Structure 1
Amino acid sequence: MKYLFSLFIFTFLTISCQKENVDLIVINSNTYTVNNSFDKAEAFAIKDGKFVAIGSSKEIEKKYQSENTVDANKQTIVPGLIDAHCHFYRMGLQQQKVDVSGTKSYEEVLQKLVAFQKEKNVAFITGRGWDQNDWDIKEFPTKEKLDALFPNIPVAITRVDGHALLVNQAALDYSEITKPIKVEGGEFITKKGKLTGVLIDNAMDFIKFPSTSKQEAIQGLLDAQKISFSYGLTTVDDAGLNQKTIELIDSLHQTNDLKMRVYAMVSGDKQAQIDYYINKGIIKTERLNVRSFKVYGDGALGSRGAAMRKPYSDRDNHFGALIYSPKRYQEIAKQIAASEYQMNTHAIGDSANTWLTKTYKEVLKNKTNRRWRIEHAQIISSEDFKNFDNILPSVQPTHATSDMYWAEDRVGAERIKGAYAFKDLLKQYGKIALGTDFPVEKVNPFLTFYAAVVRKDLDNYPKNGFQMENSLTREETLKGMTIWAAYSNFEEHEKGSIEVGKFADFVILNQDIMKVEGSKIPKTEAVATYLNGEKVF
């Protein structure tokens, strides 16, 4: 009997002390969980791609064991970062085209085009990134020098914001354009009655481009994934995809070639595409979420295409323009409101924001938890901020620090007070989703963090920060890049924080972004990126 009792005690103690096997354990870290209490933790355990326990290193090691244990050596860990508004696919394709971003003159643009063509020798030169506001002569370029350099090869390069296009005569000939065309929601810029080669917004649709091959599209997605993982991004909200690209993303997910989680905003520029996805219903996998439409409200401030209530301060009698008629926005909104889909509308100018928030309010009356978003929400009239009480603002902080040098010249001293007003928008809705709009801005999300908190450029300008009353705290900013961004995608229960049951997406950083001196925030780097507990960078 004594022997049996001893055997029972031994067996009980053996079972009690047995540790649970998991796929990965991370210990000795400085982890910001971004849970409801914004708690910190030292360690966590992962199994089957999800967090199964969070706590101290002692607690985790006592209960769990794994063949794969990472000692973080006190490094900072945050949830996998979410870019709430970007152009992932477009950025990937751009890796195969000429990049003229950061150029300081039209001459530098031309030099890059010549060097690109000498190396690539393509039949049609395409690219992106020029911004006349960064040049000494802050005027739109004209095509004469392009024509001289490339008399027979079509050239079409997009402005940094995607709302203006510079083409040469060969591209106009290729597109069978012989004279200016009157177009609603766009403009063919002319000089003395002749085409200058600059097209704004809807006018850009008249330029014909060679089609992208399937292999080029696949390579673009894989290139974009590699770049994004290197910056700690584990989810991207791609703003404006067509059916063909969404289906390609889904197929690459199924073969596991593409691992990046994608919140796909379906491009709302074609009625047939809206009809197709509304009839099909929400498409949801662990890596793909199709439940929203991206609609363009107006153009960009930099190209004076943003729709303003009063004329631009630096161009007489020019108001910019809505992309569609007011009636069309009502039609689109009513159709989407009758479905389960979300409407996410690009609105830069105060007129666009007035009209779109009014339209949202009308069609969403008595509807709850729709989380419809205004993308950019860049210039808001003082009386319109109240409309964001149930409309989610999705903003890109680096737009503020990119535009601050010339924005007031565009809109004047009074209207600039309601521009890039992140804190004011946050106060209305209670949450704010943060993104980059890459490749309009750089992919780097740590520049987003810096611009939101410090509101300066990398040269420490302006000395006291740009309109600091609308800066965000570090906690608000991290939430905007994680849990609030997840909320904006209806995904807050599966990602956006380090909590039991959620996808094991996290990033190890080289410094504590929550405490490091403000000027050092841009030096933050992703040491390692994990998705589903798998190291992807």
Structure 2
Amino acid sequence: MRNNILLVFIATLLFSCSEKEQADFIFINGQVYQVNEGFEKAEAFAIRNNKFIAVGSEKDILNNFKSDSTIDLAGAAVYPGFIDGHAHFYRYSLGLQDVDLTGTQSFNEVVQRLQKHAEKYPEDNWLFGRGWDQNDWENKEFPDKDTLDILFPNKVIMLHRVDAHAVLTNSKGLQTAGINANTKIAGGEVVMKNGEASGVLIDNAIDALSEKIPEASLEKKQELLQQGQKNCFSVGITSLADAGLDRKQVELMDGMQKNGSLKMRTYAMISPTEANMNYYFGKGHYKTDFMHVRSFKIYGDGALGSRGASLLHPYSDMPETKGFLLSEVNTFDSLAKIIMAKNFQMNTHCIGDSSNRVITDIYAKYLKGKNDKRWRIEHAQVVTSADINKFGSYNILPSVQPTHATSDMYWAEDRLGEQRIKTAYAYQDLLKQNGMLILGSDFPVEDINPLYGFHAAIARQDEENYPEGGFQPENALTREQALKGMTIWAAFGQFEENEKGSIEKDKLADFVILDQDIMEIPYEKIRATKVMETWVGGKKVYENK
């Protein structure tokens, strides 16, 4: 009798084992933030092919699944792959060969870095740099071309300000662009000094020089895009919105994604050139697992730091200007009309309260109340109390960059004054309109690390944990809100909330493992948190060794 019972038990056990589903990977013993509807935590999950096939308790996963690769997370924190809701990946990647001018404390330091680079690459006819910010210098006035003319008379110098809305060039660059003291450019400015072009070009004035840049080789572009991807994976970014691409750039990345050399999921916002519009309006939406095209990126105005943001009233620290829109109002209206007719998403860069008012009024005209078009305002930096309700009334999505607030806080009140600063970087006020915020970095304007943005969102402090108590702390986000902003809400802003942005069954297996739990640790430890592993589609793409 006992032998019979033993045989039945063994048979049952064998039958039970044979009924387990095969998984490619099983992860156990973790603190898994699902970012699902209930914002639940799980202990384990299973992956097959490129998707999560189950998420839950360790017991349930092990009872129902088997795998040759079962990974013990040893209590580590796991999150959905981070989504940068607004970045410039292509521009960042190709800029990796430029001189890094971020953090320079004076124009002399800018010059020293340029000289060092020029000595290393003496054969280059163009010298590019990015990241300078005169607001960080003792002399906060714009620099000029005089020193560059002396040191680099035969090279074209093109140095992008940190916000990319201003460029410093030399006389060789001005000649190459065909710019002189008499040049007038709509939606842009050639900054003058002593009756001649100083070398600083703002917003649309930059285009005349940009059009003359020699094109990099295909091999160099591919190499730099792969390096940019590697950098993103190392900080946990698995997906991003690339704001302002041309068809050729999209097709280059799409081809690399198809051959497996590029694994960064990309939501492409297309630049509204005539050629781009004719092609994509004719083609319609384009979607693969890695490339999604269904939106256009419009520039409403410039940046606050270079006083190109369009304000309703003059700048407090320069009363002779209010900034400017980059196009005529009827141009924005025409774009909205055709984008609506062709069922694409309109995503407009708006910094100043004037541009936010103009564009949200145009949006209201075509959206006509509640809708699911998901049109976005990128940055939404200064929005008056009278205009903010339009975000909710017309389901306009605000896409914000928390590190902009902590980068600008030292001088933003100088630009805006005591009253207007109260309606700037007002994330809680914006969040209340639709119950969500899309978070991004705007890299390379800011650092690519999304944890810096997470910290800035919840602490409203810089890397030195300044100021004590946070900058305008009433608009700080909770940790849950910030995590949603860089995962599921960012996915929603890309019409992809059903396939990514959370760790749930049947969603793409994109996730990141950190060495600390950013939902629990003190604010001051967040920026030091390291990514241990990054996974895209069930494949490990980064490991911190």
| Correspondences of 1:371-410 after superposition (within 5 Å) | 371-389=374-392, 390-410=395-415
Contact 2:180 2:196 in 1 (8 A): no
Q: By how many angstroms is 1:206 displaced? A: 1.2
| Correspondences of 1:321-336 after superposition (within 5 Å) | 321-336=324-339
1:449 to 438, 447, 454: 454
| Aligned: 1:110 with 2:115 | no
Q: By how many angstroms is 1:180 displaced? A: 3.6
Instruction: Please name the residue that 1:267 is paired with.
Output: 271
| Aligned: 1:63 with 2:64 | yes
Q: By how many angstroms is 1:223 displaced? A: 1.1
Instruction: Please name the residue that 1:293 is paired with.
Output: 296
For the residue of structure 1 that corresponds to 2:386, the secondary structure is helix
Q: State how far apart, in whole Å, the 1-side matches of 2:485 and 2:148 are.
A: 42
Q: State how far apart, in whole Å, the 2-side matches of 1:246 and 1:135 are.
A: 37
Matched to 1:302, the amino acid is G
Q: State how far apart, in whole Å, the 2-side matches of 1:344 and 1:57 are.
A: 42
Contact 1:85 1:394 in 2 (8 A): yes
Instruction: Please name the residue that 1:189 is paired with.
Output: 191
For the residue of structure 1 that corresponds to 2:131, the secondary structure is strand
Of residues 401-410 and 167-176 in structure 1, the stretch that sits farther from structure 2 once superposed is 167-176
1:225 to 206, 226, 229: 229
Q: State how far apart, in whole Å, the 2-side matches of 1:446 and 1:366 are.
A: 35
1:440 to 445, 448, 457: 445
Instruction: Please name the residue that 2:81 is paired with.
Output: 80
Runs of 4+ in 1 over 3 A off after TM superposition: 3-13
Contact 1:180 1:190 in 2 (8 A): no
For the residue of structure 1 that corresponds to 2:348, the secondary structure is strand
Q: By how many angstroms is 1:17 displaced? A: 3.0
Of residues 165-174 and 11-20 in structure 1, the stretch that sits farther from structure 2 once superposed is 11-20
Of residues 329-338 and 360-369 in structure 1, the stretch that sits farther from structure 2 once superposed is 360-369
Instruction: Please name the residue that 2:310 is paired with.
Output: 307
Contact 1:333 1:363 in 2 (8 A): yes
Of residues 113-122 and 303-312 in structure 1, the stretch that sits farther from structure 2 once superposed is 113-122
For the residue of structure 1 that corresponds to 2:387, the secondary structure is helix
Matched to 1:237, the amino acid is A
Change beyond 3 A, Cα 1:416–1:366 = closer
Instruction: Please name the residue that 1:472 is paired with.
Output: 477
2:171 to 169, 172, 192: 169
Instruction: Please name the residue that 1:205 is paired with.
Output: 207
Of residues 175-184 and 426-435 in structure 1, the stretch that sits farther from structure 2 once superposed is 175-184
Q: State how far apart, in whole Å, the 2-side matches of 1:375 and 1:462 are.
A: 26
Change beyond 3 A, Cα 1:459–1:12 = closer
Q: State how far apart, in whole Å, the 1-side matches of 2:313 and 2:169 are.
A: 30
In structure 2, stretches of 5+ residues that fail to align are none
Q: By how many angstroms is 1:462 displaced? A: 1.0
Q: State how far apart, in whole Å, the 2-side matches of 1:179 and 1:71 are.
A: 66
2:354 to 351, 356, 363: 351
1:245-272 C-alpha deviation (Å, 9 max, x unpaired): 000011001100001100111112x122
Change beyond 3 A, Cα 1:81–1:67 = same
For the residue of structure 2 that corresponds to 1:442, the secondary structure is coil
Matched to 2:96, the amino acid is Q
Q: State how far apart, in whole Å, the 2-side matches of 1:525 and 1:338 are.
A: 45
For the residue of structure 2 that corresponds to 1:265, the secondary structure is strand
Q: State how far apart, in whole Å, the 1-side matches of 2:258 and 2:535 are.
A: 19
Instruction: Please name the residue that 1:26 is paired with.
Output: 27
Q: State how far apart, in whole Å, the 2-side matches of 1:366 and 1:105 are.
A: 49
Q: So what's the TM-score if we normalise by structure 1?
A: 0.97
Q: State how far apart, in whole Å, the 1-side matches of 2:369 and 2:423 are.
A: 28
| Aligned: 1:463 with 2:458 | no
Matched to 1:145, the amino acid is T
RMSD: 1.6
Q: So what's the TM-score if we normalise by structure 2?
A: 0.96
Q: By how many angstroms is 1:7 displaced? A: 8.8
1:454-494 C-alpha deviation (Å, 9 max, x unpaired): 00111221112100000000000000000000000000000
| Aligned: 1:119 with 2:124 | no
Q: By how many angstroms is 1:15 displaced? A: 2.6
For the residue of structure 1 that corresponds to 2:97, the secondary structure is coil
Matched to 2:287, the amino acid is K
Of residues 166-175 and 288-297 in structure 1, the stretch that sits farther from structure 2 once superposed is 166-175
Of residues 358-367 and 48-57 in structure 1, the stretch that sits farther from structure 2 once superposed is 358-367
Matched to 1:395, the amino acid is V
1:137 to 139, 142, 153: 139
Q: State how far apart, in whole Å, the 1-side matches of 2:473 and 2:24 are.
A: 45
Q: State how far apart, in whole Å, the 1-side matches of 2:427 and 2:539 are.
A: 34
Matched to 1:16, the amino acid is S
Contact 1:180 1:188 in 2 (8 A): no
Matched to 2:396, the amino acid is I
| Aligned: 1:519 with 2:524 | yes
Q: State how far apart, in whole Å, the 1-side matches of 2:456 and 2:490 are.
A: 17
Q: State how far apart, in whole Å, the 1-side matches of 2:9 and 2:524 are.
A: 60
Q: By how many angstroms is 1:5 displaced? A: 12
Matched to 1:492, the amino acid is E
| Aligned: 1:14 with 2:14 | yes
Change beyond 3 A, Cα 1:74–1:9 = closer
Of residues 399-408 and 60-69 in structure 1, the stretch that sits farther from structure 2 once superposed is 60-69
Contact 2:461 2:470 in 1 (8 A): yes
Contact 1:431 1:480 in 2 (8 A): yes
Q: State how far apart, in whole Å, the 2-side matches of 1:291 and 1:412 are.
A: 38
Matched to 1:204, the amino acid is I
Instruction: Please name the residue that 1:369 is paired with.
Output: 372
Instruction: Please name the residue that 1:246 is paired with.
Output: 250
Contact 1:155 1:170 in 2 (8 A): yes
1:408-439 C-alpha deviation (Å, 9 max, x unpaired): 00011110011000110000111100000000
| Aligned: 1:492 with 2:519 | no
For the residue of structure 2 that corresponds to 1:95, the secondary structure is helix
| Correspondences of 1:405-444 after superposition (within 5 Å) | 405-444=410-449
- Percent identity between matched residues is 51
Of residues 298-307 and 112-121 in structure 1, the stretch that sits farther from structure 2 once superposed is 112-121
In structure 1, stretches of 5+ residues that fail to align are none
Q: State how far apart, in whole Å, the 2-side matches of 1:127 and 1:219 are.
A: 19
Q: By how many angstroms is 1:177 displaced? A: 2.7
1:40-86 C-alpha deviation (Å, 9 max, x unpaired): 01100000110011112222122211111211110100000000000
Q: By how many angstroms is 1:8 displaced? A: 8.9
